[in-house]
Chain A
Amino acid sequence: QKEVEQNSGPLSVPEGAIASLNCTYSDRGSQSFFWYRQYSGKSPELIMSIYSNGDKEDGRFTAQLNKASQYVSLLIRDSQPSDSATYLCAVTPGSARQLTFGSGTQLTVLP
Chain B
Amino acid sequence: EAGVAQSPRYKIIEKRQSVAFWCNPISGHATLYWYQQILGQGPKLLIQFQNNGVVDDSQLPKDRFSAERLKGVDSTLKIQPAKLEDSAVYLCASSPTGNPNYGYTFGSGTRLTVV
- Which residues does A use to contact B, with CB under 8 Å? 4, 8, 31-32, 34, 42-46, 49, 51, 88, 90, 92, 96-104
Structural contact, B42 and A98, CB atoms closer than 8 A: no
Structural contact, A51 and B106, CB atoms closer than 8 A: no
B88 to chain A, nearest CB (A): 13
Asked whether any CB of chain A lies closer than 8 Å to the CB of B109, the reply is yes
| Stretch from B11-19, B60-68, B69-77, B97-105 contacting the other chain | B97-105
A61 to chain B, nearest CB (A): 15
Query: Can you name 7 A-B pairs with beta carbons within 8 Å?
Result: A32-B103, A46-B103, A46-B105, A51-B101, A90-B42, A97-B48, A100-B45
Q: In the bound complex, what is the Cα–Cα distance between A101 and B69 (angstroms)?
A: 24
- Smallest CB-CB A-B distances: 4 pairs: A101-B42, A32-B101, A43-B106, A46-B103
Contact residues, B66-115 vs A (CB, 8 A): 89, 91, 98, 100-109
Structural contact, A32 and B42, CB atoms closer than 8 A: no
Q: A98-B45, A98-B48, A98-B56 are in contact. Are A32 and B100 (CB under 8 A)?
A: yes
A59 to chain B, nearest CB (A): 17
B44 to chain A, nearest CB (A): 7
A95 to chain B, nearest CB (A): 11
Q: In the bound complex, what is the Cα–Cα distance between A98 and B43 (angstroms)?
A: 12
Q: Which of B42, B44, B100, B108 contacts A104 (CB 8 A)?
A: B42
